[in-house]
Amino acid sequence: MAKYTCETCQKVFSQKGHLKDHNNRKHPCKKDNTIEELVEKKVQDALSKTNEGAVKIDSTSINIMMSNQMDYSKKSREELIAICKEKGIKGYSGQVKEYIVKLLTDANNTGVVKNDIVIETTTKSNTQKLNMIDLFAGTGAFTIAFKLTNNVNVVFANDMVEHSKKIYDENFDHKLTLKNLNEVKVEDIPSHDILTGGFPCQPFSIAGLQEGFKDERSNVFWKILSIIDNHHPKCVILENVKNLLSHDEHKTFATIKENLENRGYYISYKVLNTAEITGIPQHRERIYIVCLKSKKIFDKLSLDFPKIEKKPVSHFLESSVPDKYYYTDKSSTWELITANVVKKDTIYQYRRVYVRENKSSECPTLTANMGGGGHNVPIILDDKGIRKLTPRECFNFQGFPSSYILPNLSDTNLYKLAGNAVSVPVVKLIANRIIPLLQED
């Protein structure tokens, strides 16, 4: 049950309306300033004893909190926004819940809080944020992960698919540029330190025709190079299917690597599996290519991440699912599905002519075509019957936060967006390693 706290007197209410009535009383509650006055007196006494009128406090900075640290993670996004407004904290507009939680937590830790007294007289370096562009942005997985570091400004995002723009604009302040990247002038793209992009994988995918650079969709790689030539970003991060490594007898990847190295980048790459390093049970192997201008950063960066225990599949499922996602005896595939889908907490995959059980307690790799044509459809057995995964559950298996907004789009388009997305927690692991190194350089 949600709790609503008065920011002045800290009184807790079980209903939002009660808090509103409390705040609108004829004689509003008063803040107890006893601790503030005591702290102010101590600071003034200290000031009066120094010749230069300044208090010098080193690692033993004074941190006095009027109340216990609030657990922001238990509050709704709307409540968090209200707290930001009350505390005068900016930057929350259009952000997902997890980002706003981090914003409030960081504000508490750095003393930028009105109602909690935090005196911190040691000087902290105010490192300038890095600028980033998100190409082929889709759902904005790169944007989410890098913004969560609180040290990155996304200055440009691009995609050519209309429903990508709709979902991106619904979740972020800055608007996505809807245009074929090949038609975007490089000089119209803002200056940036980081370039990210999950460039089209179909030309290299095992599931596709594997036409590689013969496929017009892969031509955008040359556009990426022209953007690099014009803006010279410190860091380039690209994501694609693992088959990119072996495509055309390794010639495709060799071409990509050579062209990036010729532009002065040191290249680090690795195939990472979401299920192994994030705790999210989706088998999703993707190659991540990190390109760095600095040899010093390259030598420090590692793409080796420890394997961690997977959470159960049930952790990512919705508790209440509409009837439309369930198979019935009227379904053309009813006999095939009921004969094969027999275990709970197990995800199966319907592949047109047969059903395959995932025996690794994982969700099979989510694909863009799982929502139409009866191909690669992930299905489960629950207490109510046999059903497809919902679009929200697919986004859950991609690591998107529960506060991420799914706009009014068809299920087919939402499944496609989820299947084409980059795994948020994988990118977050990379971002958390690389951003501190870029800021040190």
Strands 194-197 and 235-241: parallel
Cα separation, 155 vs 190, in Å, equals 7
Match 């439309």 to its residue by tokens.
324
Interacting residues of 89 by C-beta distance below 8 A, sequence separation 6+: 83, 103, 104, 107, 112
Query: What b-and-e string marks burial along 238-272, b requiring 16 or more CB atoms within 10 Å of the CB?
Result: bbbbbbbbebbeeebbeebbeebeeeebbebbeeb
Contact 411, 262 (CB under 8 A): no
Of 356, 402, 344, the closest CA to residue 98 belongs to 402
Contact 350, 374 (CB under 8 A): yes
Identity at 325, one-letter amino acid code: Y
Tokens found for residue 110: 């750095």
Cα separation, 155 vs 142, in Å, equals 13
Hey, which residues does 349 pair with through a beta bridge?
356, 378
Catalytic residue among 84, 201, 291, 363: 201
Of 433, 416, 331, 341, the closest CA to residue 385 belongs to 341
CB neighbourhood size of 65 (10 A): 12
Residue 201 designated active-site: yes
Identity at 418, one-letter amino acid code: A
Bin 133: left if φ > 0, else alpha if -120 < ψ < 50, else beta. beta
The residues annotated with a catalytic role in the active site are 201
